[in-house]
Amino acid sequence: MIVRGATRCCLRLRPTLARPTSRFSPQSCRRYSMPSGPMPTVNPTSSAGMLAPFVNELDKIAPSFKISGSQIHIIQSPIDFYETLKARIRTAKERIFLSTLYIGKSEKELIATIEDALRANPELKLSILTDALRGTREAPEPSCASLLAPLVTEFGSDRVEIRMYHTPNLTGLRKKHIPKRINEGWGLQHMKLYGVDDEIILSGANLSNDYFTNRQDRYHLFSSSEVTNYFWDLYQGVMSLSFLVQPAKDEPSGFRLHWPSTNTAPNPLERSTEFISKATPFIHNLIAPKEKSEKGSLPSGDTTVYMLGQLSQLMKPDTSTELPVMTHILKTLAAPEYTGSSWTFTAGYFNPAPSLTNLLLSTASQDNVVITASPYANGFYKSKGVSGLLPDAYTLLARRFLRTIKERKQDSAVVLKEWRRGTVNEPGGWTYHAKGLWITLPNEKDPSISIIGSSNYTKRSYSHDLEAGALIVTQDPGLKKRLGDEQKWLQEYASPVTLDDFAKTERRVGLKVRIAMWIVSVVGGAL
The residues annotated as belonging to the active site are 190, 192, 197
User: CA-to-CA distance for 406 and 414, rounded, in angstroms?
Assistant: 10
Other Cβ atoms less than 10 A from the Cβ of 180: the count is 12
In which region does residue 261 sit, left (phi positive, over 0), alpha (psi from -120 to 50) or beta (all else)?
alpha
Q: What angle do CA 326, 433, 217 make, to 5 degrees?
A: 85
User: CA-to-CA distance for 501 and 359, rounded, in angstroms?
Assistant: 25
Other Cβ atoms less than 10 A from the Cβ of 18: the count is 15
**Contact in structure between 448 and 454 (CB atoms under 8 Å):** no
Torsion over CA: 75, 76, 82, 84 (sign): negative
**Residues in Cβ contact with 56 at an 8 Å cutoff, skipping those fewer than 6 apart:** 40
User: CA-to-CA distance for 330 and 353, rounded, in angstroms?
Assistant: 14
**Which of 24, 200, 219 lies closest to 95 in space, CA to CA?**
200
**Which of 444, 437, 445 lies closest to 330 in space, CA to CA?**
437
Residues in the chain: 527
User: CA-to-CA distance for 115 and 109, rounded, in angstroms?
Assistant: 10
In which region does residue 25 sit, left (phi positive, over 0), alpha (psi from -120 to 50) or beta (all else)?
beta
Which class for 386: exposed (0-12), middle (13-18), buried (19 or more C-beta within 10 A)? Answer: middle
Which class for 174: exposed (0-12), middle (13-18), buried (19 or more C-beta within 10 A)? Answer: exposed
Cis peptide before 122 (omega within 30 of 0): no
User: CA-to-CA distance for 193 and 232, rounded, in angstroms?
Assistant: 9
DSSP assigned state of 102: -
User: CA-to-CA distance for 361 and 376, rounded, in angstroms?
Assistant: 27
Residue 381 identity: Y
User: CA-to-CA distance for 20 and 241, rounded, in angstroms?
Assistant: 10
